[in-house]
Every structure is written in C-alpha cells, then in structure tokens.
Structure 1
Amino acid sequence: MKVTVIGMWGGFPKVDEPCSGYLIEHNEEKVLLDCGSGVAVKIGKYMDVNTLRHIVVSHSHYDHASDIGVMMFSRLVNTITEKTDVVLTIYEPYNEISSQHPESVKFSEFKSYEEDSVLKIGDMSIRFLEMNHPVKTFAMKISTDDKTVVYTADGTISEELKEFSQGADLLITECSLYEWADGENTGHMNITDCIELVKDAGVKETILTHLPHYGEINDLLETAKQSGIENVQLAQPGLTIEV
C-alpha cells in the first residue's frame, strides 16, 4: 500500500495545508480516508480526482468531512461535461444529515457503516472500531494480504484501540495535545497517549497527525523519540510512505 498525507491539521487548515485527508493506494484502487477542509483543493496534486471512487469518513466534524460537499459537486459537473463516468461512493457513520447529502447531488451515493462492518475495496479490507469522541467516530484498519494500516481518527486511548492496532505496519494516530494537556474530556489523545499506544500495540511505523496549531509541534516528535520510539514522524502534506 502507498499512503499519502493530503492534510493533517486539527480544527482548521493552514495556508496550503489542509485538515485531515489520507490517500491509500493499492494496485489500481484508491481510497481517501477523511476529507476535511482544504483536502479538495490539494488532492489533485496526487491523483486525477475524477478517477476517485471511494471516500471513507471517520466522523462528521468539519476538519474531517467539510469538503465532502464540494467533492460531490465536482463529480456532478465533471460527469455532466463527460470528463468522468465514475460514481463517487461516500462511506460514513450513519446520521440523518450525512445520509441526505448524496441524495441531493447526482453521481454520488451514500453507504453507511457500523463497527461490525467490513468494506471490500479492490484487494483492501477496511474494518472499524468506535472511538470515544463527542460524535460517533470510527478508527479504521486497512488490510491487504500481508500489510495493515491503522488510522485512529479522533478519540481517546483504550485497550480496545491497542488491540485493534496490534502489529500494524503503519499507525496514523491523532496527536492533538502536548504531554501536559489532558484530552479525556474532549475525546483526544496527547503525545503521552500516543507513545503508550505505539508501544503497547507494537506497531512498526508511526505518523503523528491531527496536529495542534499552538506550541512547537516538533516537541511532539522529540518527546516520542526520547521515549524510545524511533520509526516516527510528523504528518505533513505530501508525505508518502510505502507500506
């Protein structure tokens, strides 16, 4: 699998740096995990957006899902103008608002999922774990025959998440807070939580993402390395990893 970070900021984007969006490619298939603010502008740098068939959204917060609407209208216009004939399928946790979006825009369709769902996209399988977050949110495990990528989306650390992430070749984990901040009440992880998750799950490689807009974010990386984690880096737009 090839993993490309489209964007990685929590809450809101920076100039030329979107919120959450991660492109997963395997063989001929491409899947976009989350589509936050700014992702629709930048994804064209990494692929022909008219060929994208699948977007899997972890939850409905704007920094993970706000660009879904413009992606659907892009597909509408480009289908009418005969630039594509590919239907865009959007997978989201079911809620009344998200289920109505594709019904109002042709050439997109909505499919809901729950914790026990398994999505089959090409040779990839995607499984889910519900997270502790203010709205219904799911971590995702993307697997091929011999490789696994886990994306935590947003939520607090738990024994269930450690088990879900066990032995992953790549962990993309939210790291919203510095070690002195407690994320329990807001449904987020700090760097200390991330370190615990990486070590207890025994993952091989880690990307810290959903980064804070304050402080010195390189301190997050240094804290992780000082704890003994070596194969770790901060997410940044365009970062690509072959798993």
Structure 2
Amino acid sequence: MRMTVLGGCGAWPAAGEACSGYLIEHDGFRVLVDPGYATMPRLLELVPAERIDAVLVSHGHPDHCADLNPLLRARALGGRPPAALPVFAPAGALDAVLALDRASMLAGSFRLKETADTEIGPFTLRVFHLPHHVPNAGLRLSADGVTIAYTGDTGPSPELAELARDADVYLAEATYPEAVPDEDAPYLSSARQAGATAAEAGAGHLVLTHLWPGHTDEPALNAAGDGFPGKISVARGGLVLDL
C-alpha cells in the first residue's frame, strides 16, 4: 500500500501548499481521500483524473472537498468519459460543492454514496463518527494486513483510539500544537492529543495533518513526541509512504 500526501494545510492553502488530500493506492486501485483546495493540480502530476477509482470525503468543509468539482469536470468533460466515479461522504456533505455546476453537466460522472462500513476495491473501509462542526467520518482503510487510519477533523472522542488501533499509519488532525482554543476544543485537535491517542492505540507511524497555515512543523512534532515514542511526520505535499 502506498499513501501520497497531496496537501495537509488546514482551513486554506498557504502559498505553495494544498489543503487536505491523500492518494492511497493498493493492487492497482486508487482511492482519493479528501480532495481539498489546490489538491487537483498535484493529483494530476501523479495520475490522470480518469484513473481514480473512488473518492472518500471525511466531511463537507471546502478545505476537504472543494477540488471534487474540478475532478468531476475533468472526468465528465474529457474526450472519453470513464465510468461513474464512486464518491463516499456523510449525508448532505457534498451538496454545496455538487451545486457549483448544473446537474446535467456532471450527470453520469459520479455515484454518490453515504459513508458506511464497506468494501472498496481491495480495501476494507470502517467508518467512525467523530465530533466536528459538521458531520465527520473517521476513515480506516485496510488491505492485506496493512491499515491507514484518518481522523478527518475531530474533537476529543473515545472512538479515536479504536480508529487508530494498531494502524500502520495514523493520519491525525493536529490544527494546533499544544492546545485548542476553548471555542473549538470540542471540534478540533492538537498535536499533543494526537500523540497521546497514537500511543494509546499502538499506532506505528503518526502523521500530523491540518496544521494551521503558517505554523511550522517543529512545535507540532515536539508536542506529539512528548506522548508518542514512535515515528512522527507532518503531512506536507510530496510525502510518500510505502507500507
């Protein structure tokens, strides 16, 4: 299994960066997780739009799904449109982004499905409903004994330890290094919290994502490392993990 980070910037794409976007590949099957702002050009440097086999969206904030629109345009308006793309998301999460174009223009380019435990190509998907400002699905993808667990954006929850349990990669939202401001504390996480969860769950490699634009990596790495003794990285565009 391979995971390529297209971007990991929280809220909006800082100069030269992209928001959340992760290409996960196994056995020739390609899943795009969270096509956030500015991920589409980076994706097209790696693979044509028609070669994506499925899309998973954790939640409906645009920094996690806005570039679904150009992805569907590229597939629908190309010379030889491919089969309809399976797109999995929480109910109603994609209403706004799908409304950017008239329905007839994208008709037949995708099949929208509500996120639930299922099989997607070679992957087994388990879904965890986690607290955020809008419905958010934690995603656990497994194939051939390898697991990548992804939080989307989330506040504290006992479900996080189960999501991350023994995962080879725990891709965890860490908007702030040390502490989340009080008004967002139920809905977002810190790198320190991500490290504690990774340790509790026995995860192998902690990858911190969704850092606030302008934040540097070192404070987040240090905060997470206080509680987690394993390998820690920050999700920056171009990071490739072969598992």
Give the TM-score taking structure 1 as reference length. 0.90
The residue that corresponds to 1:111 in the other structure is 112
SS in 1 for 2:112: strand
TM alignment of 1:90-239, pairs within 5 A: 90-95=87-92, 98=95, 101=98, 103-104=103-104, 105-114=106-115, 117-182=116-181, 184-185=184-185, 187-239=187-239
The residue that corresponds to 1:17 in the other structure is 17
Q: Give deviations 1:99-153, integer Å, cap 9, x for gaps.
A: 9938441232232324xx2232221111100110010110000011311110111
* CA gap 1:68/1:186 in 2 versus in 1, 3 angstroms: farther
Residue segments in structure 2 that go unaligned for 5+ positions in a row: none
Between the aligned partners of 1:61 and 1:150, the Cα distance in structure 2 is: 19
* CA gap 1:233/1:180 in 2 versus in 1, 3 angstroms: same
Q: Is the 8 A contact 1:92 1:98 kept in 2?
A: no
Give the stretch that moved more between structures: 68-77 or 173-182: 173-182
- What is the aligned-residue identity percentage? 26
* CA gap 1:226/1:97 in 2 versus in 1, 3 angstroms: closer
Q: Is the 8 A contact 2:9 2:213 kept in 1?
A: yes
Amino acid in structure 2 at the alignment position of 1:164: L
TM-superposed CA distance for 1:154, in Å, is: 0.4
Residue segments in structure 1 that go unaligned for 5+ positions in a row: none
RMSD of the alignment, in Å?
2.0
SS in 1 for 2:88: strand
Amino acid in structure 1 at the alignment position of 2:208: L
Amino acid in structure 2 at the alignment position of 1:158: S
Between the aligned partners of 2:58 and 2:93, the Cα distance in structure 1 is: 16
* CA gap 1:161/1:226 in 2 versus in 1, 3 angstroms: closer
Q: Give deviations 1:169-209, integer Å, cap 9, x for gaps.
A: 11000110121434653611012211111110110111111
Give the stretch that moved more between structures: 203-212 or 41-50: 41-50
The residue that corresponds to 1:50 in the other structure is 50
* CA gap 1:109/1:215 in 2 versus in 1, 3 angstroms: closer
Q: Is the 8 A contact 1:221 1:234 kept in 2?
A: yes
Give the TM-score taking structure 2 as reference length. 0.90
Between the aligned partners of 2:96 and 2:38, the Cα distance in structure 1 is: 22
Amino acid in structure 2 at the alignment position of 1:59: H
Q: Is the 8 A contact 1:75 1:107 kept in 2?
A: no
Q: How many residues align?
A: 238
Q: Give deviations 1:65-121, integer Å, cap 9, x for gaps.
A: 11111111111111xx12x4232221111118529938441232232324xx22322
